[in-house]
Amino acid sequence: MNRYESLVRGLLEQAGITVGGSEPQDLQVHDQRFYERVVAEGSLGLGESYMDGWWSCAQLDEFFCRLLQTRLDSKVKLPWRETLAAAVARVLNRQSSRRAGQVAHVHYDLGAEFFEAIMDPRMVYSCGYWKNATTLAQAQEDKLDLACRKIGLAPSDRVLDIGCGWGGFVTFAHERYGCAPLGVTISRPQAEYARRRCAGTPIQILAADYREINRREHGSFDKVVSFGMFEHVGPKNHRAFMKVVDDVLTEGGLFLLHTVGENVTRPKGDPWLDKHIFPNVAIPSVQHIGRAVEGLFVVEDWHNFGPDYYTTLMSWYENLQKHYPSLSPGAVPEPRERFYRMWEYFYASCASAFKTRRLQLWQIVMSKGTIPAYTSVR
């Protein structure tokens, strides 16, 4: 046993994980190069070695829960490349308008067949609300309805959805509340899909960066929502995003921000997630959001239902396992097995971060402070 293997085995044992063990969380190593790679590359090496088939685990989410509960990440020195990357992120704007389309190209532009196999019928790609739900479809319907009730949506409202994805919220708001929203997404394939869904309705879909939205060109809105998009905005642009909302929101309007939240303030996201799933991702913290809204908005309601994201992500994970083999040729990039293992790793690792409360899910309702009062609906 070399020093790399000894180090990795010792760390894993602190988390109750045994290499070669028989428990669901135990690691099975299939390539001895795994140990040196993890020591040298940290989180990136752990994820990429899983994608390459160098190790496996009977229950990935339980493996990650053990790692996170023991806080092994805080006991390991960051690779020098990641230390440098964090320093660069503090200086450069990694989510500039020039770079904003990278996450769409890598993630959201994937063929709709892949996402249809994973998500609910409405194609809602953010955390569901599981308080009274027993299925993914119901959890997403309940989340959308909760958001509509929080902002007091009415048929006469002009509604803007920043980061509308495949049109889940805008179609729901039209069907259930009689609105004719404007949805904006940076992904052109998403926009084309949403337009096909909305054909024959007064819903409008715009393919654009959020920085292109303004009152002069698009008018004002009584209600603005954004689901699962703020994680791509980045600390250098949080204030600019809020100023866009402030510009288009009417004086008596309401803004609902639905976003993943971090317990600590960081300049960038996990290196594996950044490279393979969400380029330039940066999960906001309370401090990030507070600085961004100061002087612009009054926070009327701040709702955390982070544990519900564990259930949502594991539902997507189960759908991935169930439907992936039947996807048509060309529906996903080659090699198919490595792509599958990447998404398996993504859903299981992120689900565990919510289960162990390392990540949160916030729905925040804001106003311009000109309404007499706000009454919570929950």
The values of phi and psi at residue 140, to 5°, are -75, -40
- Domain regions of the chain by residue span: 3-77, 102-367
CA–CA separation, 111 and 252 (whole Å): 39
The length of the chain in residues reads: 378
Burial of 327 (0-12, 13-18, 19+ CB in 10 A): middle
- Residue 254 near residue 300 (C-beta atoms within 8 A): yes
Instruction: Calculate helix-pair angle for 33-51, 80-91, nearest 10 degrees.
Output: 50
At 16, which amino acid appears?
A: G
For the chain, give the mean pLDDT: 93
pLDDT at 240 over 70: yes
pLDDT of residue 207: 97
Structure tokens at 115: 């996402």
Amino acid sitting at position 252: G
Residue 76, pLDDT score: 63
The neighbouring-strand residues paired with 364 are 257, 302
Residues 269 and 234: their CA atoms lie apart, in Å, by 10
Give the pLDDT confidence of 122-157 residue by residue, as tens digits.
999 999 999 999 999 999 999 999 999 999 999 999
Report the pLDDT value the prediction gives residue 81, as an integer from 0 to 100: 53
Q: Which residues of 223-248 are buried (b: 16+ CB within 10 A; e: fewer)?
A: bbbbbbbbbbbbbbbbbbbbebbbeb
Q: CA 55 to CA 367: how far, in whole Å? A: 49
For residue 90, the number of C-alpha atoms closer than 13 Å in the C-beta half-sphere is: 7
Amino acid in position 118? I
> Residues 191-200: pLDDT tens digits?
999 999 999 9
Question: Fold for domain 102-367?
Answer: Rossmann fold (3.40.50)
pLDDT in tens, 304-350: 999 999 999 999 999 999 999 999 998 899 999 999 999 999 999 99
Q: What does the DSSP assignment read for 295-330?
A: TT-EEEEEEE-THHHHHHHHHHHHHHHHHGGGSPTT
Q: Cβ atoms within 10 A of the Cβ of 66, count?
A: 21
Where residue 163 falls (left for φ over 0; alpha for ψ -120 to 50; beta otherwise) is left
Per-residue b/e over 104-140, b at no fewer than 16 CB within 10 Å? beebbebebebbbbbbbebbbbbbbbbeebeebbebb
DSSP state of 19: B
Q: Residues 57, 148, 198, 350: which is the catalytic one?
A: 350
DSSP label at 270?
-
Summarize pLDDT for 181-192 with one digit per residue, the tens: 999 999 999 999
Tokens of 200: 């024959």
Q: Pairing state of beta strands 249-262 and 298-304? A: unpaired
pLDDT tens column, 20-74: 999 999 999 999 999 999 988 989 999 999 999 999 999 999 999 999 999 877 6
* 65 belongs to the catalytic site: no
Round to whole Å and give the CA distance between 105 and 325: 24
